[in-house]
Amino acid sequence: MRHLIDITDFSVEEITELLDLADDMIANPRRYADSQRGKILATLFFEPSTRTRLSFESAMLSMGGSVLGFSSADSSSTAKGESLTDTIRTVGCYCDIIAMRHPKEGAPMAGSLRSTVPIINAGDGGHNHPTQTLTDLLTIRREKGRMDHMVVGLCGDLKFGRTVHSLIGAMSRYEGVSFVLISPPELRVPAYITRDLADRGIPFTEVETMEEVMPELDILYMTRVQRERFFNEADYIRLKDTYILDPEKLRAAKKDMSILHPLPRVNEIAVSVDDDPRAVYFRQVRNGRFVRMALITKLLKEAEQA
Ligand code: CP
């Protein structure tokens, strides 16, 4: 049974095929309108979501399939003490594929071990978010026309930002990509990730201000400070507005830099940036639906062939 738990579960070639399929789905949506008729997606969200859950549901509905699920642990039998494994084994009797989000790192992996249907990690704690990364990769490829030879700046909460961890894992596999990690010292990328980059000879720098690196960047990936992961509210309040991207700061950026954000946004990008042609975060949202259509299609096909 093939699952998507970590973005590196897929080879670079598989990701290229997936993005090609997503591009075709964007260009020819009618061709896929009935492609998953009779199939059921379950969305099990033990944590809040707008984009990930609804884009998965929209993806399945756009292909003629059906959806069921829950959007909080409180409305499932988890509230009565049911284990994750029992929930997954139960829901697997009602559906063909499961997308799950959970506050505990590793929960989708644990769930996949006893699952009879493909499991998609839709975000596990502060760890990984591989389907956001597929969205980011499709957006980068559509905006820049390439995946290689780029300086990628990641800014904000790089410690708890799961989208950052998955994106570094994915982009570090392309030739000529280097990273500029912009964060306060308290919110640096976890050491296991920078150690891995160093071991593989992937260039990266760690800085504390976006101004000092802005002219170098081809991509600026902004992130929210993840309030829900902090142990201490005072620390969150002290750090939450460390970075606010505004038109003044963008003056020093390349004319063709792309600004991405997984969203939701709080204060870290001023609304006045939204009309800048370099701001691609709402196109990124739209891409998320199509890349999840492609992902569901791939995993269901592989499950049938297994
Ligand atoms: N990007 C993302 O995961 O958004 P949601 O939390 O709204 O799903």
Please give the sequence-ordered ranges of beta strands (E in DSSP) within 27-147, or none if there are none: 40-45, 66-70, 97-102, 119-124
Q: Which atom of ligand 1 is nearest to the CA of 48?
A: 6
- pLDDT of the residue at 228: 86
Q: How far is CA 88 from CA 131, 145, 250, in A?
A: 19, 39, 46
Determine whether the shortest distance from the Cβ of 72 to ligand 1 is under 6 A: no
Determine whether the shortest distance from the Cβ of 161 to ligand 1 is under 6 A: no
- pLDDT of the residue at 231: 78
Q: Are 303 and 36 in contact (CB under 8 A)?
A: no
Residue 31 in tokens: 């061709």
CA-nearest of 95, 164, 97 to 136 is 164
The predicted model scores a pTM of 0.96
Q: Ligand 1 centroid vs 115 CA: distance in angstroms?
A: 24
Per-residue pLDDT of the chain (306 residues; tens, 9 = 90+): 899 999 999 999 999 999 999 999 999 999 999 999 999 999 999 999 999 999 999 999 999 999 999 999 998 999 999 999 999 999 999 999 999 999 999 999 999 999 999 999 999 999 999 999 999 999 999 999 999 999 999 999 999 999 999 999 999 999 999 999 999 999 999 999 999 999 999 999 999 999 999 999 999 999 999 888 887 888 888 888 899 999 999 999 999 999 999 999 999 999 999 999 999 999 999 999 999 999 999 999 999 998
- pLDDT of the residue at 229: 85
- pLDDT of the residue at 239: 85
Q: Ligand 1 centroid vs 302 CA: distance in angstroms?
A: 26
DSSP for residue 23: H
Q: How far apart are the first and last CA of the chain?
A: 7
Determine whether the shortest distance from the Cβ of 164 to ligand 1 is under 6 A: no
Determine whether the shortest distance from the Cβ of 223 to ligand 1 is under 6 A: no
Q: Which atom of ligand 1 is nearest to the CA of 55?
A: 8
Q: Ligand 1 centroid vs 8 CA: distance in angstroms?
A: 20
Q: Whose CA is nearest to atom 1 of ligand 1?
A: 262
- pLDDT of the residue at 264: 96
> How far, in Å, CA of 152 to CA of 149, rounded?
10
Q: Whose CA is nearest to atom 6 of ligand 1?
A: 49
Residue 207 in tokens: 């800085």
Residue 27 in tokens: 């260009």
Q: How far is CA 155 from CA 159, 164, 184, 261, in A?
A: 11, 9, 9, 10
Q: Whose CA is nearest to atom 5 of ligand 1?
A: 49
- pLDDT of the residue at 166: 98
- Chain centre distance of CA 58: 17
Q: Ligand 1 centroid vs 291 CA: distance in angstroms?
A: 15
Determine whether the shortest distance from the Cβ of 264 to ligand 1 is under 6 A: yes
Q: Which SS3 state, helix, strand or coil, does residue 179 take?
A: strand
Q: Ligand 1 centroid vs 52 CA: distance in angstroms?
A: 5
